[in-house]
Structure 1
Amino acid sequence: MPERDDATSIGSSTIGRRRFLAATGVSVAGISGLAGCLGGAREDPFDDYGPQRSPVEASAVSWDDLGDLEGELVIYSARTSDQIDLLFEKLEDEYDDFTVTVDYDDEGDQLASLLEEGENSPADLFYTQSSGELARLKQEGLARELPDDIVDAVEENYRDSDGQWTGASGRVRAVQYNTDHFDGDDLPEDIFAYAEDERFRDVISTRPNSGTFRSFIVAMIEEEGEERTREWVRAMVDDQNATLYSGGTEQAEAVANGEQEIALGNQYYAGRILENDPDAPIDVTFTRNDPGCLFNVSGIAILEGAQTPNLAAEFTRHILAGEGQEFFVEANGEYPILEGVDYIGDLPTLEEINPLEFDLNKLGDTEHVNDLLREEGML
């Protein structure tokens, strides 16, 4: 399970501030029967699937250019509440007649619920931390084609080539290290070295339960083959005795406070620590042109059975507008995905990193990855 803050429980479906499911007394697993009656109570306030006012653009329009958000939007979120809830609150404060109802859960569990519920799901939108689950949703025929302006605004590398999901913000796999123990210039630029170098034995960690880790493994299989990927996983467990964390924040904090010396994870967790404490003994380095520096996106798909697809589309435009993109940079240390928004964080820019080029639609085979990780003792 991914990390949860104190307001959410681990290991079960947890409900957002509006407590949508709690009010009905129905669990996520049994929710599909409610879809019909919910549809009658929730009307889509917009006339068509196009923009209510101005289209979103790669140059980053403002919320003032977009249409008002009106009505209730039901979101299944695999992003944890500490990462995204402030943005939802900001949008609710901006629009008096807009309500976000959120079900927070692990991305695998959310995807399983959506597959079970099919077009009867009460969710309008799936918001997840890795493109792998979005690719799987598309494969199952549960994602709608997005409006043209949304598709055109986002670079093709950061969205589905068929326009059925889009990235919302980006992150890069990185090597986080404690600066009291290592110099970044002395660390390997090959991800396989981290499973072989004796310097990292007993002091390295990773986070196998996260969607971005599973996507990294899918990319490794695609780039290097399954057998070499199995060898890497096996060596991390058996030879390096890697510590396995369940939360990215906890993992990065362990590096900063010296409990661990090396961590394989997303760059923005270290960025958050440095934002709050520029003198913290943590920094990141990157491998070169291999899956260890995979760029991935958190992203959005509008569901085929959405009750309010037009509201979901206008919401997506707000996420891709300047204010939405700046939130991810300033609050989360993530990378924007629009050309018109600059990254101004404490870590290297994407141009400096030059991450591996990879088709994010190939990241959908997460079930096979889970089996591989179990077989090799990492799950």
Structure 2
Amino acid sequence: MRTTATLAVLVAAIFSAGCGSDDGSGPLTVYSGREEELVQPLFDRFAAETGTRVEVRYADSAELAATINEEGGNSPADVFFAQDPGSLGAVESQLAALPPETLDRVDSRFRDDRGRWVGTSGRSRVLVYNTDAVAAADLPSSVFDLTDAAWRGRIGIAPTNASFQAFVTAMRLSVGDDRTREWLVGLKANQPRTYEKNLPIVEAAASGEIDVGLVNHYYLALVKDEQPDAPVANHFFEPGDPGALVSVAGVGVLASTDQPEEARALVDFLLSDDGQRFYTEEAEETEYPLVAGIPSAPGLPPLGDLQGPDVDLSSFGGELESTVELLRETGYLT
């Protein structure tokens, strides 16, 4: 009896170990540089609709990209969901090409030109400002104007944040390293306050700690949800200006995955109408849907009206190291 019982337990354990999901495969492993608070509802919904179990590892996008490169073909990740195109570009050699029908859901300017990753939501760089301290008519039309001495001690930035670094990369690609270095030196002379992330910059502008700050557009909505009467608003720079960069979060499938169909199904889910409406109807961060026909959140200028500098987002990964080095040279990073 003891032998029979032991054998039954062993068989049950083996069966259980082999049943990660309904079809007998293991869980789909996602490395997510997007914050759990924002995107976990998307993963939960995908799992409920498809029966695919999803395990998510959350960390900074750049850290996850470095991990994927270290792990190489042995990476347990099936999907990389990144906050920025630079992180996706950093692992492009390890990403599989996505099908044309998936890529075509999104305008070509918001996806990799070789089809290895695709944008899932967009954000515009803006200048957030305290409306009690600065009149709209006095706001600069270009980010280059922030080196004027009139802005000394009034600006907030987050130089260690991926979105600021992507913006600097866009500036380098659009006007060159020399002018970008000149701007960084000039901005540094104006003694900007530094913050770890975008949200504290908007909160600082709302409290009057700073007058203006360089951030992504959607952080304003987060502060307004908590402080509806906060004297703070977004200012969009003129079209073509590096400060008007329109960047994306994006997703790619690891070439080493042993679950390519499930991985691509998750990508398609993120680009489905429901997956795109999530950013305007449910998410706290009101990012831009990238699929045509899905309207942006009320109060935002249409995505089609936004025009950043003429740069290729798919090149950001290869440029990130040079951007970080320039930020070190000019004293923004240690």
Please give the range of the TM-score, normalised by the shorter of the 2 chains.
0.7 to 0.9
1:186 maps to 2:141: no
Q: Secondary structure at the match of 1:299?
A: strand
Compared with structure 1, are the counterparts of its residues 354 and 44 closer, same or farther at alpha carbon in structure 2 (3 Å cutoff)? farther
Q: TM-score, normalised by structure 1?
A: 0.77
Write out per-residue CA displacement over residues 77-130 of structure 1, whole angstroms, 9 at most, x where no aligned residue. Answer: 1112222223223334445x3322111111221111111111110000111111
**Which protein shows a greater Rg?**
2
1:85 maps to 2:68: no
User: Aligned Cα RMSD in Å?
Assistant: 2.2
1:368 maps to 2:311: no
Aligned to 1:349: 302
Write out per-residue CA displacement over residues 200-235 of structure 1, whole angstroms, 9 at most, x where no aligned residue. Answer: 211201111222221111111111111111121122
Aligned to 2:7: none
Compared with structure 1, are the counterparts of its residues 40 and 154 closer, same or farther at alpha carbon in structure 2 (3 Å cutoff)? farther
Percent identity at matched positions? 35
Aligned to 2:54: 100
Instruction: Give 5+ residue unaligned stretches, structure 2.
Output: 1-16
Whole-angstrom distance in 2 between the partners of 1:98 and 1:183: 52
Q: CA deviation at 1:275?
A: 4.5
Contact 1:130 1:299 in 2 (8 A): yes
Aligned to 1:308: 259
Q: CA deviation at 1:277?
A: 4.3
Contact 1:44 1:310 in 2 (8 A): no
Aligned to 2:196: 246
Whole-angstrom distance in 2 between the partners of 1:169 and 1:120: 29
Compared with structure 1, are the counterparts of its residues 77 and 368 closer, same or farther at alpha carbon in structure 2 (3 Å cutoff)? same
1:207 maps to 2:158: yes
Write out per-residue CA displacement over residues 269-326 of structure 1, whole angstroms, 9 at most, x where no aligned residue. Answer: 1133234544321111122212111110000010111121111111111111111111
Compared with structure 1, are the counterparts of its residues 371 and 144 closer, same or farther at alpha carbon in structure 2 (3 Å cutoff)? same
Contact 2:173 2:311 in 1 (8 A): no
Residue 324 of structure 1 aligns with an amino acid whose one-letter code is: G
Aligned to 2:290: 337
1:324 maps to 2:275: yes
Whole-angstrom distance in 1 between the partners of 2:332 and 2:102: 38
Q: Secondary structure at the match of 2:56?
A: strand
Contact 2:18 2:26 in 1 (8 A): no
Q: Secondary structure at the match of 1:101?
A: strand
| Number of residues of Structure 1 aligned to a counterpart in Structure 2 | 313
Write out per-residue CA displacement over residues 245-264 of structure 1, whole angstroms, 9 at most, x where no aligned residue. Answer: 11222221111222221110
Q: CA deviation at 1:134?
A: 1.3
2:122 to 146, 170, 188: 170
Residue 79 of structure 1 aligns with an amino acid whose one-letter code is: R
Whole-angstrom distance in 2 between the partners of 1:44 and 1:135: 34
Contact 1:275 1:346 in 2 (8 A): no
Q: Secondary structure at the match of 2:81?
A: strand
Whole-angstrom distance in 1 between the partners of 2:165 and 2:290: 21
Whole-angstrom distance in 2 between the partners of 1:189 and 1:223: 17
Aligned to 2:14: none
Write out per-residue CA displacement over residues 146-182 of structure 1, whole angstroms, 9 at most, x where no aligned residue. Answer: 1221012111111112211000000011101111111
Contact 1:216 1:291 in 2 (8 A): yes
